[in-house]
Amino acid sequence: MEESNLCKHIAIIMDGNGRWAKKRAMPRSFGHKKGAENVVKITRAMKESGVKFLTLYAFSTENWQRSKDEVDALMDLLREYLDKEFQEIMENNVKIVFIGEREMLSEDIQKKIDFLEKESAKNTDLTLCIALSYGSRQEIVNTVKSIARNVKNGDLSIDDISQEMISNRLYTRNIPDPDILIRTSGEQRISNYLLWQIAYTELFFTNTLWPDFDKEELLSIIEQFNNRERRYGKN
């Protein structure tokens, strides 16, 4: 297989934590905890498989509309993850970056993610991108505003605006577009996730709930991807 056809970047919508817990007569927070544990397992599997970029949809801007109790539980879980997994991230040479509306997060979480990004910046085996307080439409709006300000100030002309310029102003500007997008739990929608970036991404939907999604299924999806022909509209 040509190098250009190899999978470099996988994006995942991690869906089904609540349903996983409900099936076991447990609170949703238990499902989220198991889902967070699976993030660690799948990150390891990604690194072992040779994938260089992994982007996870951890918390959307729409998720702020959930009950205060659930949001608080998710934020506490995030704090625990950021503290607990720091050593493993460093030992496994993983670079971690966060994309989204950071100002909506509490100050202590902002400081934690800033610290983790800075400390892991030189790691090279895998880039783990966590979409946190993220919404793709708002990302695009912010990019349009940025370009509009430059045009208004005379720093850019309208003719300077290109697809490449827009890509280079998105949160993911230093990350290649995903080759694969996986959504777990049986839902078959994109949910305001990486709308610009997935223009030519191969989509995979699985009925597996996120806490049960494992390395074996991941490798099966990568194999299916390797057998697909990607034409990018050329024929």
Let me know: does 74 contact 121? Beta carbons within 8 Å. no
Please say if 63 is a catalytic residue. yes
Report residue 11 as tokens. Answer: 């994006």
Each domain of the chain, given as residue ranges in start order, spans: 3-135+177-225
pLDDT (tens, 9 = 90+) of the chain, 235 residues, equals 444 468 999 999 999 999 999 999 999 999 999 999 999 999 999 999 999 999 999 999 999 999 999 999 999 999 999 999 999 999 999 999 999 999 999 999 999 999 999 999 999 999 999 999 999 999 999 999 999 999 999 999 999 999 999 999 999 999 999 999 999 999 999 999 999 999 999 999 999 999 999 999 999 999 999 988 776 666 6
Fold of 3-135+177-225: Undecaprenyl pyrophosphate synthetase (3.40.1180)
DSSP 143-170: HHHHHHHHHHTTS--GGG--HHHHHTTS
Please say if 179 is a catalytic residue. no
Let me know: does 228 contact 181? Beta carbons within 8 Å. no
Report residue 57 as tokens. Answer: 């949809």
Out of 5, 15, 159, 192, which one is annotated catalytic? 15
Question: What does the alpha-carbon distance between residue 140 and residue 153 come to, in Å, rounded to a whole number?
Answer: 20
Q: Is the pTM of this model over 0.85?
A: yes
Out of 5, 17, 38, 63, which one is annotated catalytic? 63
